[in-house]
Every structure is written in structure tokens, then in C-alpha cells.
Chain A
Amino acid sequence: MNKTVFLGALTVAGLAAGIAGAATLDDVKARGKLNCGVTTGLVGFAAPDANGEWTGFDVGICRAVAAAVLGDPKAVEFVPTTGKTRFTALASGEVDLLARNTTWTFSRDVDLKFTFIGINYYDGQGFMVPKALGVSSAKELDGATVCIQTGTTTELNLADYFRKNNMNYEPVPIETNAEAQQQFLAGACDVYTTDASGLAATRATFENPADYVLLPEIISKEPLGPLVRHGDDEWADINMWTLNALISAEELGVTSANAADMAAAPGNNPEINRLLGTEGSLGAMFGLSDDWAKNAILAGGNYGELFEKNIGENTPIGLARGLNAQWTEGGLIYSPPFR
């Protein structure tokens, strides 16, 4: 009896003591690997491919950070998290960075104590229904059964939306996207609701994507971004500026194809030179090598490349840039200057 109590206590102690200290950068360097929290599988954003390699738009962020910090885009340990487990995983130090379609909200920032390092996808919540249902607007969904991932903002938006419009619904709470897909396809729910990007990505994996439609209503703002714990500003800076480097690279025309050449033979654009570390030494200011941004860009390409390769119009997911175009192209994607 005493022995079990003791062992149990030890496990708890291990858990309690496991909460990482402030110096995440040192921890990651010492470990030689970045622990990155991703989805359990959402094609285009984060999912293992046929060879078991994680790929996707969010995975790209993990790889860019690993490349910037450790010089190796493969030095990432991917930790699949559900909508419910992701925050515990981050808060407890199990992951150093969470890149999992996570909406930046006040309470997640202030109350849950996380720092969002930027926005890598401007999204909103949508509804998907089978075409056969004959529904053309979310306003016609009174009385419908709705599949919804628990522990998400979408769950709260849904409650608000139906209340505001005086409609009833039957929520079917689900843990992962895969389960939602199963229930939705079997007709156990009429509607699947989540971020519009997630719906597009989910629909792309259906056998007959054309049998399902996204309703025109977008009922919320879902600025999706990667996040880290409060309390380690240096680590937050590294992640934020890695994302900014990818965004700036697109704006400045630096791609995975030309970054190495541009770094080897510096041109006369000082901002590109600062970004690639051939002028000044921005990297050293937060404890990284000067070619950190170059490595990040080489990992999977700049922001635009990541977008086109994983979720862009030429992929089955087929998302248009829309709000996620560079500010110079009329979108909201905008990086502060590198200087």
C-alpha cells in the first residue's frame, strides 16, 4: 500500500516538476530537437504523409523554427494534440511551440497565459452540409444536428450564433477531426462546423467532395496562429520573427530556390541582406546564428511557398489567398521591418 502511494506520488511529482523553466531556447538547444504541437491530422495543415513524414502549412512553421534555432528542419518532434489537449500540452512544457490552427483570443492570451506569435492564417468559422440536404444558408439550420470539435472556439461561436438567431440545434461533441468526418459522412450529423480552412481541408479528403457544400455564412473571426507560453519573451521573439522572416521573404522575393544564392552573393537591397544575415547581425541579438532566417526560408520556402504547396489553389484543398495575401496584394499578411 505504502509502496503504491509512493510510486503514485513520484509520478505526480514528475509531472509537477516537469513544467519547464523560462529558458526554452536553451532547453531546445540542449535537447537538439524542437517539440512542436500539431493536430492529430488535418491534411494540408498538419498530417503525416505516406512515408510517415509530417507535412503541412502548420508543420512548415515548426520546421522553420527548428531550422532557425537548430539549423535542421528535420530536428522536430511532432506531438499530435486534440483541441482539448493542446493547451495542457503547451502549458506543461510538453511542447515548446503549438502550431495547430489555434485561434488567437483574449482569454487564451490573458487567462490561459499564452503568447501568440503572430497570425499565419486569417480564417472564420463556416458550415459544411451535404448537398442533398438542400440547405443554402446557415439561417435554415434550425433544429439541425451539428458535429463540433470540443475545446474549440468554434463550439462557443456556434452556441452564440444559434442563440442570436433564435434557433435550436443538437450539438454532437467530438474530439478529433477524423471522428467528426466519420459521423458527418454517415449522416449522424447534418452539419459539420469548424474553421472554413479546416472544412475545405476535410472536404478535400472525402471520396466525393462535390456532394458537400460550404454555406456562405462565415460566423466568426478566427485568426489562426502559433503560440508559446507566457513568461519567456526571448523564445516568443524567436518564433515571432521566424514567422515574420517567412512573410518578409515572400514580400522581398526571397524563396527557397534563390535564398542560398542571395546569401552567397549579397545584392544591394539592405533589408534582404539583413534578413539573410549578410549585413548586420540580427540573429546574434537573440542568441541564434546570423543565417537563422536563411535556414528558416530554406526549410520549406517563404510564406507564399508554404501556402501554395500545402493549401493553395493548386492543391486538392484549393484555398485562395484572399485575406492571406501580402498587404501589397490587398491582403492582411504583413511583417514588421527587419532592421
Chain B
Amino acid sequence: MTTFTDPPAESFKLSMLVYDTRYRSITFQILALVAVLLLFGWLTMNTAQNLNDLGKEPSFGFLGESAGYDINQRLIDYSSQSTHLRAAFVGLLNTLLVAAMGCATATVIGVIVGVLRLSGNWLVARLMTVYVEIFRNVPVLMWIVLCMAILIEAMPAPSAFRGDNPDATMKLFDTIAITNRGVYIPEPLFSRSLGNLHIGTAFDISINLLAILFVLGVSLWIARDITRRANAKQEATGLRPRTWHTRLAVIVLPTAILLAFLGFHLGYPELKGFNFAGGTYMRNSLIALWLALSLYTAAFIAEIVRAGILAISTGQTEAAAALGLRGNRIMSLVVLPQAMRVIIPPLISQYLNLTKNSSLAIAVGYMDITGTLMGITLNQTGRELETVLLGMLVYLTISLIISGVMNWYNNRVKLVER
């Protein structure tokens, strides 16, 4: 015979908020949240109060006023008559340009160095170790300044190209001019233009470019489809059809035909007056920043790649070899797909770092968003708070987009596990 007694009815006491483990963590989190909110509230009020005292009420009206200053590297139309907002845009595009160039180059160098560091060749492996250690242990700002100093001091000035017997000559069959102001490379030109697409009144995009991108995109898609079919066939029959020539043709031919139709030709740089004219001008500041950021970040990426490869046990490699796969196949079919899931998450933060580090641009006078919006605009308008807040917002947005894209990619390549 058993008697059931009800557990004593639990009455809630205030002290339980602290002593009862069920509530304690929530209590403290709420307290912390309130404290942080209060602090932020106080900060905001304090800042607003101080700005009021200075007679500077926050306002974003300055963005619509004309900027008054010139910017050397512009990816969109801009003159000193344009607005501060547009100047900020020019800067934003410059930030994105150097970040994209940097991420691409850093990845290539990083992967090569990372793989070579594992090479059986003692000398090569040691050289790569030296590279990694040198680059990642010196602050990136110094690399940027050093690259710039080398470019300025070691390259010939444009005036050295002048005269009958010049001290310096153009490289690669007279197509590239390397000066201490930057590098001039041949530029793509079209004799037939499809005109411009106007987005609002502010932006024009060349339809030629869009057409080329579109055709290239479609070609790549078809080429991928061909590969997919070849894979299916291989799985069904064990025989892999030869596809590389059709794929090459699909990728190259349509674009080549389109380029021919548009009258594609190259424009070469030429010495005119004080500087070279024609060609695409890659300024010193861009090159220095790009090189330094790539080399620096590549050192970190190399380590990430190495770690990723080492994370795959040698048993896998040996097993693949036992199945008769050759070295590069083992790498691409067995090791890399597994290494990817170790590599990609830290790779995302390297991309983010590179993008944020690009804000050191002002050290070499590269006009990125810190140089325009948070630099000259801030200085000429005295709107410190507004410009810096906007700038932070921009970097936050870029970072979120990068990690969004990379996470999406990560989800696609990660191994499906049970």
C-alpha cells in the first residue's frame, strides 16, 4: 500500500531569481541587457547633448551638397561638381574593387603556398614557411607602405620614357608602361557600341559589357551541363566521353563571335604630355594596396589550406592510391572535397579581414570609402559622427554580404553527413 502525496505546492519567491538555477541565468541576462541598453541610451543622449552644445545637430543634408574635390580613380562618372553622396559611391566602388582583387589573388597565392608547404621537397617547403612567417608577423600597414615606397622609388618616372634615347622603355612589345605613378596596360575598346543602360539618372552601364557577361554566363552554364551529362554517362556505363573540346568551344566561340561583332580591339598606352594616355591606368596606390593585402592575407590562407589538408587522415590518401587513383585525382576527388569544409569557415573571416584592412588605403592615398566619405568629406563638412556612422554601416553591409555568400557556398560544398 502506498500513499501518494502531492509534492508541496511550489510558491515563487523573489530570491529564487538568484538562487534557483532555473531562473538564475535568465535573471542575469536580463540585468546585463538592461545595463547595456541604459549605457547605450546614456551614450546617445550624451553625444546628442554635446553635439547640441557645439551647435552641430546631426544631419545628413551634406550628402546632397556638391563635393568640390576631385578623385583620381573613378569607376563611375564623377567631377568636383558631383555630390558628397556620389563621392562616397566612388569610394565604395574603389573599396569593392581592391577587396575583390585582393581576395582573388590572396586565394590563389594562399592555396599554392599552402599546398607547397606540404611538399616533399625540403627547399620548397622551407621557402614557403619563410614566406608565411614573414608576411603574417609584420603588420599589414607596413607592407602597404613598403610596397608603395618600392613602387615610387624603384620605377622610372614618365619623363624617363621621353627623348630619342630614353632611360626607360615600355615592356612586352611596347604594350605595357611601368612607371612610378602606376602601370598602364592595354585597354579593351569597342568600335561598335550598343549604348548605355541608364539606371535612374545617376548610373550608366555599358550594354556591351552586359552582353559579354550574359553570353559568357550562358556558355559556362552550358559547359557545366555537358560535364554533368558526361558524369551521368560515366556512372551508367563506366566510360567517360571526351568533352574538353566541346566545352572549350562552347565557352570560347560565342564570346569570341560577340567580341568580333562589337569590333573589339586593344588601346595601347602612349606618352602624351606629362603622362601616358590611353590604356588602363592602374595607379600605384591601387597596386601597392592590392599587392600588400594579397600577400599578407595569402599567408593566413596558406595556413588555413595546410590545416585543411592535414585534417584529412593519410589513410584516405593511401586508400585512394590503393584504388589506383593518381596523385592529382586523389587531391581533387578525395582530399580537397573533405578539406573544403575545414577551409571555408576560416576563409570567410580572412576575406572579411582583407576587406576591412583595405580601409588602410589612405596610407597610400587610395581613394576608398574611408578616403572619400570618412576622409575628405568628413573634413570639408565637419560631419564626423554622420560620416563615420555611414562608413561603419557600409563596412557592416559588405561584411554581411560576403559572409552570406560564403556561407551559402559552404552549405553547398559541405559533406552531407549522417
Contacts and interface: CB of A to CB of B under 8 A. Distances in A.
A5 B36 contact: yes
Contacts of B367: 173
Contacts of A17: 46, 50
A188 B80 contact: no
B379 A83 contact: yes
Nearest to A187: B157
Contacts of B353: none
B365 interface: yes
B54 A91 contact: yes
Contacts of B158: 187
Interface string B58-99: 000000000011111000000111000000000000000000
A13 B39 contact: yes
Interface string A163-199: 1000001111111000000110011111000000000
Contacts of A182: 149, 152
B273 A142 contact: yes
Interface in A207-258: 229-231
B263 interface: no
B46 A16 contact: yes
Contacts of B274: 133, 141, 143-145, 190
Interface stretch (A32-40, A46-54, A117-125, A149-157): A149-157
A171 to B, nearest CB: 5
A151 B53 contact: no
Contacts of B53: 19, 231
B72 A13 contact: no
Given A9-B43, A142-B273, A188-B157, A231 B152 contact: no
B80 to A, nearest CB: 4
Taking each of A169, A173, A187, which has the highest tally of chain B beta carbons within 10 Å of its own beta carbon?
A: A173
B412 interface: no
Interface string B353-379: 000000000110101000100011011
A143 to B, nearest CB: 4
Given A142-B273, A186-B153, A186-B157, A151 B379 contact: yes
Contact of A2 (B36, B181, B284, B376): B36
What's the interface size class on B, roughly?
35 or more
Given A113-B55, A113-B382, A230-B54, A155 B376 contact: yes
Given A19-B53, A84-B375, A171-B71, A12 B275 contact: no
B379 A16 contact: no
Contacts of B79: 163
Contacts of B180: 186-188
B403 interface: no
A111 B274 CA distance: 38
A156 B69 contact: yes
A23 interface: no
B244 interface: no
B379 A84 contact: yes
B36 A111 contact: no
B74 to A, nearest CB: 11
B43 A230 contact: no
Interface string A111-135: 1110000000000000000001100
Interface in A313-339: none
Nearest to A91: B54
A188 B365 contact: no
Contact of B181 (A9, A188, A231): A188
Contact of A173 (B36, B152, B277, B365): B365
B43 A13 contact: yes
A6 interface: yes
B380 interface: yes
Contacts of A84: 375-376, 378-379
Given A9-B36, A16-B46, A158-B70, A150 B54 contact: no
Nearest to A151: B379
A159 B382 contact: no
A173 B68 CA distance: 14
Contact of B80 (A5, A159, A186): A159
Contacts of B375: 84, 150-151
B329 interface: no
A159 B157 contact: no
Nearest to A84: B379
A186 B152 CA distance: 7
Contact of B376 (A9, A151, A169): A151
Given A88-B384, A91-B54, A187-B157, A173 B43 contact: no
A57 interface: no
A87 interface: yes
B371 to A, nearest CB: 7
A230 B55 contact: yes
B381 interface: yes
Nearest to B384: A88
A143 B276 CA distance: 9
A150 B379 contact: yes
Contact of A159 (B40, B68, B152, B371): B68
B56 interface: yes
Interface in A40-80: none
Interface in B15-67: 32, 36, 39-40, 42-43, 46-47, 50, 53-56
A231 B180 CA distance: 48
Interface string B169-181: 0000000000011
A177 B218 CA distance: 52
B157 to A, nearest CB: 3
Given A150-B376, A155-B376, 4 more contacts: A12-B43, A16-B43, A144-B274, A145-B274
21 contacts: A6-B39, A9-B36, A9-B39, A13-B43, A91-B384, A113-B54, A113-B382, A142-B273, A143-B274, A143-B275, A150-B371, A150-B376, A156-B80, A158-B70, A159-B69, A160-B80, A163-B80, A171-B69, A186-B157, A187-B158, A229-B54
Closest 7 CB pairs of A and B: A187-B157, A151-B379, A112-B382, A159-B80, A143-B273, A19-B50, A173-B365
